[in-house]
């Protein structure tokens, strides 16, 4: 009963704060609904960035990989901090100066409407088939593992899965549909505070138990006993994340995701000015450097405590087992509420971005070029309802026999490389034509699908023979390869494309103050040095 009470209390608190902060807002304009009226401050942006990204797939999935392998998986977090520095310094000023609502809108100004439509469809396709349903499924299965929902409610695991998918999906939809980006960002921020507290509490309590009351002694004990686990280079057979990918596909993945992905960048596009946007992005980057203590260290601690109890094939039970062992009963409800908040934050953020992409990139281009602000908001809400229903219907039907985290990353990688290549070509060159951009956007995903999915076994066999290696190449290497090939294709097509390059269409004036944050350079340097320091200190 106490757990249920604290769960309801924290969940209601998040909803109350979100309502209170947006109660006087009028969602009748495109900027108000999709960009929070361009009024978001640094801490709201930082909190929303964190919770849009982090969810149960990180807590359970990456801790599980640390349990089975090494802390090398922390690269997903540490290199993200570097990419966010790039966002603050390079991408955000260029996006805000153009007054963008969506990333495909930039492609329209630089290339043409056809490029914008293709990019919008690729974004939407990746959200619909991967992120939205998988986030719900990960959340539901994670909560079942952590809190035995089916047993506590006296229902079957299948029924519990459907209940949690529809419960979390419905709650997340309400924020996105009725509150717009500002309500989503505020709920993300409150949930982010809870997520950080709860996430850090688990390894702290575990280390206190191991160290007989002293967490530093506990950490020393784990480090000495499990020293090979603390090798950040991932130099092991079958590594989940070998060190080499940091210099190929990981660069492409992180720059696309944190610098140009609509569901992420939209938070910064809603900043009240450039300084607040840069500050918010870099605050989030600082929190990213705490990520290893939340989504990697617990996996190593679980290995130290339960390696004789949890078989390698049951590695996904590592984090739930640790939570059940160290979490006080009084905290169960709060922890469950935080986990639900993390799931619905990712869900409602992606849902809001999907509605933005459809309204501005599809409806406003094909169906009604003269659509007013209220009409775009109405269409966005209808789109959100349909996508939410589709995700809630699809999620329980997804095959869970393989790694959902790998599935999510591979599906995303299908689109990440080609889209980043086109966006960078638009920003950095004046020679790539609209036809070349469209060819790149279409050919890139097809090429990645052929290399990794359709003919994956044959391609891996050829790679092993060519390079004389005994293991398959990591899919991130193929992401890097496809990125380079798409850049080459665009260069080649542009050389023989006589349609030429038209001048970019840009807004006459930036919609917000473009004065940069005065601590931008110093903070960026500190974050970069701390990131490098992780690898210097933990390389073995």
Statement: residue 326 has pLDDT above 90: yes
For each of the domains in the chain, give its residue range(s) and CATH number, in order of start. 2-538 (1.20.1730.10)
pLDDT confidence of residue 36: 66
**Mean pLDDT lowest for which of 182-186, 212-216, 217-221, 317-321?**
182-186
Predicted local distance difference test score (pLDDT) of residue 399: 65
Given pLDDT bands bounded at 50, 70 and 90, which one contains residue 450? very high
User: Which among 250, 278, 196 is positioned nearest to 417, based on CA atoms?
Assistant: 250
Q: Please tell me the distance from the alpha carbon of residue 12 to that of residue 16, in angstroms, as a whole number.
A: 6
| CA nearest to 192, candidates 12, 34, 405, 14 | 14
Rounded-to-10 torsion of CA 526, 529, 531, 532: 180
The C-alpha atoms of residue 200 and residue 44 are separated, in whole angstroms, by 21
Nearest to 209 by CA among 338, 306, 339: 306
Give 5's contacts (C-beta < 8 A, 6+ positions apart). Answer: 333
Secondary structure class of 378 (helix, strand, coil) = helix
Element spanning 454, H or E = none
* Under 8 Å between Cβ of 241 and 234: yes
Quote the pTM value: 0.89
Check residue 474 and report its DSSP letter: P
403 pLDDT tier (thresholds 50, 70, 90)? low
Q: Which tokens sit at 451?
A: 């290399």
Reported confidence tier of residue 483, pLDDT bands at 50, 70, 90: very high
Lowest mean pLDDT: which of 106-110, 222-226, 333-337? 333-337
Q: Is 513 helix (H, G, I), strand (E, B) or coil?
A: strand
Residues whose CB is less than 8 angstroms from the CB of residue 41 and which lie 6 or more positions away in sequence, other chains included: 271, 272, 276, 280
Which residue has 């992420």 as its token pair? 264
344 pLDDT tier (thresholds 50, 70, 90): confident
Residues near 311 by Cβ (< 8 Å), separated by ≥ 6? Answer: none
Q: How many CA atoms lie within 13 A of 96 on its CB side?
A: 28
Question: Please, which residues bridge with residue 513 across strands?
Answer: 273
Torsion angle of C-alpha atoms 259, 193, 353, 343, degrees rounded to 10:
110
Q: Is 239 exposed, middle or buried (0-12, 13-18, 19+ CB in 10 A)?
A: buried
Burial of 407 (0-12, 13-18, 19+ CB in 10 A): middle
The pLDDT of residue 237 is above 80: no
State how far the Cα of 182 lies from the Cα of 176, in Å rounded to an integer.
9
- For residue 257, the model assigns a pLDDT of 92
Report the chain's C-alpha Rg in angstroms: 23
Digit-coded pLDDT (tens) for 252-269: 999 999 999 988 898 899
Per-residue pLDDT tens for 4-58? 677 777 777 777 877 677 666 655 556 656 666 688 899 989 988 887 777 777 8
Structural contact between residues 339 and 189, judged by C-beta atoms closer than 8 angstroms: no
Measured distance CA(223)–CA(200) in Å, rounded: 18
Q: Is residue 243 within 8 Å of residue 84, measured between CB atoms?
A: no
Mean pLDDT, residues 154-167: 88
Query: Which whole-number Å values give the CA distances from 418 to 108, 146, 446, 479, in the listed order?
Result: 16, 38, 10, 9
Q: Please, which pLDDT band fits residue 502 given cuts at 50, 70 and 90?
A: confident
């Amino acid at each position: 009963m106490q757990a249920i009470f604290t769960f309801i209390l924290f969940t209601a608190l998040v909803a109350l704060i979100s309502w209170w902060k947006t109660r006087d807002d009028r969602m009748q304009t495109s900027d108000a609904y999709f960009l929070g009226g361009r009024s978001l401050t640094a801490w709201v942006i930082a909190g929303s960035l964190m919770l849009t990204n982090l969810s149960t797939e990180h807590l359970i999935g990456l801790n599980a990989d640390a349990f089975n392998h090494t802390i090398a998986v922390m690269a997903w977090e540490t290199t993200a901090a570097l990419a966010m520095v790039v966002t603050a310094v390079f991408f955000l000023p260029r996006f805000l100066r153009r007054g963008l609502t969506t990333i495909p809108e930039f492609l329209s100004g630089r290339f043409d409407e056809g490029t914008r439509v293709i990019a919008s469809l690729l974004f939407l396709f990746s959200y619909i088939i991967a992120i939205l349903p998988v986030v719900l499924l990960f959340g539901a299965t994670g909560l079942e593992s952590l809190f035995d929902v089916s047993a506590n409610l006296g229902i079957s695991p299948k029924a519990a899965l459907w209940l949690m998918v529809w419960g979390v999906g419905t709650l997340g939809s309400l924020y996105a549909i009725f509150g717009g980006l500002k309500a989503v960002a505020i709920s993300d921020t409150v949930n982010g505070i809870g997520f950080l507290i709860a996430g850090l509490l688990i390894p702290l309590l575990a280390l206190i138990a191991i160290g007989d009351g002293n967490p530093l002694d506990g950490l020393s004990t784990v480090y000495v006993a499990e020293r090979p686990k603390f090798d950040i280079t991932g130099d092991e057979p079958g590594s989940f994340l070998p060190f080499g990918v940091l210099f190929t596909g990981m660069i492409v993945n992180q720059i696309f995701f944190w610098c140009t992905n609509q569901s992420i960048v939209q938070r910064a596009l809603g900043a009240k000015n450039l300084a607040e946007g840069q500050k918010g992005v870099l605050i989030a980057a600082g929190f990213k450097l705490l990520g290893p203590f939340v989504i990697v260290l617990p996996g190593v601690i679980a290995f130290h405590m339960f390696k004789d109890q949890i078989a390698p094939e049951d590695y996904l039970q590592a984090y739930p087992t640790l939570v059940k062992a160290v979490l006080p009963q009084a905290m169960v409800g709060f922890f469950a509420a935080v986990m639900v908040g993390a799931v619905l934050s990712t869900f409602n953020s992606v849902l809001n971005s999907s509605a933005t992409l459809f309204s501005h990139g599809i409806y406003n281009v094909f169906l009604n070029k003269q659509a007013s602000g209220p009409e775009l908001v109405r269409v966005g809400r209808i789109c959100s309802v349909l996508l939410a229903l589709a995700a809630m219907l699809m999620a329980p039907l997804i095959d869970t026999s393989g790694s959902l985290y790998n599935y999510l990353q591979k599906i995303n990688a299908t689109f990440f490389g080609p889209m980043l290549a086109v966006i960078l070509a638009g920003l950095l060159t004046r020679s790539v034509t609209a036809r070349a951009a469209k060819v790149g956007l279409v050919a890139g995903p097809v090429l990645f699908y052929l290399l990794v999915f359709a003919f994956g076994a044959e391609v891996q066999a050829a790679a092993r023979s060519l390079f004389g290696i005994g293991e398959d190449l990591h899919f991130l290497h193929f992401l890097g390869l496809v990125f380079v090939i798409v850049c080459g294709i665009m260069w080649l097509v542009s050389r023989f494309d006589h349609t030429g390059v038209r001048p970019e269409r840009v807004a006459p004036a930036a919609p917000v103050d473009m004065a940069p944050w005065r601590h931008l350079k110093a903070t960026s340097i500190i974050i970069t040095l701390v990131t490098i320091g992780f690898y210097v200190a933990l390389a073995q």
